[in-house]
Every structure is written in C-alpha cells, then in structure tokens.
Amino acid sequence: MKRHTIFWIAAVTAVFGLLAASCGGDDDAADDTSAVTETAPAPEDEAPTAADEDEPMAEEEPMAEEEPMAEEEAMAEEEAMAEEEAITEAIEEGDIADIATLDMDTNGDGKVILGVAAAGPRDDGAYYQALVDAAEDISAAQGWEPPIVVDNIEPAVAATELENLAAQGVDIIAVGAGEISDPLPDLVAQYPDIFWYCNCGTGFPQMDGVALSTNDGAEIEYVVGVAAGLLLQEHGGDTAYMIGCCDLGFEVETELAMRLGLKAVDPSFDVVYTPTGNFPFDFDNVAGATEAFNVALDAGMDLVYPYLGGAHEPLVQLANEHGIPVTSAGASDVCSRTDLHWDMAALFDGGDFARAVFPLIVSGAFVEGDIYKFAVGRDPEVGALICDPTPEQKEQLDQAHADVWNGYCLAEFDAIRAIAYGGVDMEAPLVCSDA
C-alpha cells in the first residue's frame, strides 16, 4: 500500500548498540586487558631486558584521517540540513498554479503529459486515488494534457507496467508507492529524458535520477494512536482494531507505533491487528476485510483503522452503519466529505506530497536525485487530524505533533523499526522512555 522500507538497517544498528552497551562485564574487561598487555616477540638475537619489560607501552596514535573525516561528515550533514530547510520554506510558499520556469516538455513533442503509476485502484477513495487526484489538479493548474494513469500495478509486473507507461510519450512519471519502485534504476537509465518522481515512503534511500518524497511511519502512526486514544476517551471503549493486508513490515510498524500512541493517552488502551489479504500487497480484498470487520465487531471493537486501499471505503460504510468511530488511511480530505463519515484522518496522503513538491519540480528547486522527508510536527502533510475536535483534543494532539518534532520517543521508534523490518526479537515498547 505505501511504505517500502530499508530504513530498518539504521534502526537495527541503533538497537543493538544499546543492547551491547548494557551487556559489558568483568569478562569483557579481562579480555580487554589481555589484548592491551600482549606484546610482539623480541627478535631471536636480542633478548628483552628488565627495563624493556617495565617500560609502558606507547599509546597508539589516532589515525590522521579520522578528524578530517569527522569534519567532512559534519559539514555534509550541515549542508543536507540547510538544503532540507530551504526546500521546506519553498514548499510553504509554493502553489501548484505557480508558473513553471522549467520546460517540462522533456520529449519535445509540444505538450506536457504527467504519467501516474499506482499500485492499487485509481478510484479507491483512499491512498491510491489521492495521488491520481493530485496529478489531475497539477496538470490542470499547469495547463498540461490530462495525466495518463496506470493503476493496479502488482510488484511482480511493475517493470513491464512502468515501461509501458514510459513508452506512451509522457514527460514526467510519478510512482505512487515504494512497493513498485524496484525497476526504477533500470528505467531511469533507459528513459533518462523523463522526469522521475517517487512517493516511495518510509526511509527510502536517495536515488540518482529520481526525485523522492519520504516520511517516517513510526512518527505518523504514533500521533495516529494519540488521536485514536482521544476519540476512545470521548466515545467510550478501550480497543481499536487495525484491519490490514498481510502483516507486512510497515503494517507491523503501524501497529506498534499506534499502540505506543494509544497508551500515551491511557495505558489501558490497545490495538488489535487483523490481516485480510493475500500476500503480497493485497489491500483490496473486500470480502476478507468485511469478514474481519464483523469478527472485530463481535469481539467488542470500539474504533476501526481500515489500513486498506480498495477495501477501505466498504469498511468505512460498515463502521458508519454500526456507529463505530473510523479513521482514514492516508487520505487527508475525509473530514470534508459528505458521502461517508470519518472521525479522524491518518495523514500520509500521496496527493498532498505531490502538491507540495511539484511547484519545486517545475521551478527547478527540486531535481532528480533530491530527497525530501515529510516530518511530523513540521510538515502539515503528515500526522493525524481529528475531524471535529474539542479544544482540549486539539491542544493535546498538537502537543503530540510538537513532541515528535522535538525528538520525543526516538529510542522507541528505533526499536519499533528494528522489530518491524529487522526481525529483532525484543519486547515492543509500550511507553516512551522520555515520558
């Protein structure tokens, strides 16, 4: 559905570092001493004297390269932060109707066509449709041709489908999810004139030839949990149900981070995850999702998070019929819709990401090879939103966003990623250590 992740590597490293730091003991100290006191044997024709044996070993000189390397890394980090701040400011000031200063007619045929590659149905009313709607809005605002959309792309055939899209005379291609991004390096080399953009999700690495927008799933789902907890306080109950696909890594991350946020509101609150699809990436199984909803309803479900694509709206309708509070799964416009009712929104809307970065793309401020991470507490495109909050709910949810931006729960988010993506066997955190 959304978050194809390799960010877990850093998380695993951080978690194992913490574990190693806490496991040192006398045996380690003994090993270290023997390593220090061992000396090289003297030449056969020169026996060591007593003075030689009593002489302390000279300390090893640090590598001359270490300090310059550290300085270079610090400078690179500062430059990256400055670049990200500049992009953030440009996003705040940009608008999709801003006149393009770059000629986006990359193939020189006299027109500009934006191609969209979606992993699910273009009209799901949820995560997949969000990018399609944004592409239509951007194309209309820029005076381009209507976009060409290829949807329901399965990872196994992503290379073929993306190549077919590239061959249709498009000038720009927006890839809607990391799960269909594996062919990008080869396709970028094959079609270098096309401008490639990918909303590739959590922790996706920088890639030559592709402009990337990313986000942090643990941050987002933590504040989703806080919002859900505030709604449970209001409506009564203590259990949310997350109805998803197939226990994928980013679903595990979502469940664990949401639980952390729920328990930040009330330690008795919890979330139950239920898979409904066929592996991999089947977020559109309406029959399976409906069955899971009914089972959860019988079990006493108090709030539902339909973490789904094509099966999302059918479950929202069921939730409305049974009076169960419900949240969106990515789409940010649900609070203003009148056909169905949502009580809150989980914000990771691919359309919002595209609307934010495309003014920078057409101005040349965001180019292929650039990456921008939407961050909770800084960027309004990510986080959580209660549709009709009380002043107290808004204040508490705003504070949760600010806390995340200020570094709250960093160790717990790392642990969650390590469990979700690295297979680390450890207890999931239930409370933030800096609470």
Q: DSSP letters of 139-179?
A: HHHHTPPPPEEE----GGGHHHHHHHHHTTT-SEEEE--GG
Q: What is the pLDDT of residue 139?
A: 98
Q: Could you tell me if 180 and 156 are in contact, meaning their C-beta atoms sit under 8 angstroms apart?
A: no
Q: What is the pLDDT of residue 167?
A: 96
- The answer, yes or no, to whether the previous bond of 280 is cis (omega within 30 of 0) is yes
Q: In this structure, what token pair is assigned to residue 115?
A: 């191609």
Q: What is the pLDDT of residue 59?
A: 52
CB contact set of 334 (below 8 Å; sequence gap of 6+): 328, 340, 342, 345, 387
Q: What is the pLDDT of residue 63?
A: 52
Cβ count within 10 A of residue 30: 10
Q: What is the DSSP letter of 433?
A: T
CB contact set of 123 (below 8 Å; sequence gap of 6+): 129, 132
Q: In this structure, what token pair is assigned to residue 195?
A: 């401008």
* Global pTM value: 0.81
CA nearest neighbour of 400 among 242, 229, 238: 229
Q: What is the pLDDT of residue 42?
A: 42
Instruction: Please report, as a single letter, which amino acid is at residue 144.
Output: W
Backbone φ, ψ for residue 382 (5° rounding): -130, 145
Which residues of the chain carry a pLDDT beneath 70? Answer: 1-68, 435
CA distance 201 to 281: 15
Residue found under tokens 């993506």 = 421
Q: In this structure, what token pair is assigned to residue 389?
A: 């909050």
Q: What is the pLDDT of residue 96?
A: 86
Q: What is the pLDDT of residue 66?
A: 58
Alpha helices in 38-176 (DSSP H): 50-54, 66-93, 127-142, 158-166
Q: Could you tell me if 289 and 313 are in contact, meaning their C-beta atoms sit under 8 angstroms apart?
A: no
CA distance 322 to 298: 11
Residue found under tokens 């380690």 = 28
Q: DSSP letters of 327-342?
A: B-SB-S-GGG-SSS--
Backbone φ, ψ for residue 273 (5° rounding): -95, 135
Task: For domain 217-348+382-422, give the CATH number.
Answer: 3.40.50.2300
Q: In this structure, what token pair is assigned to residue 130?
A: 């969000």
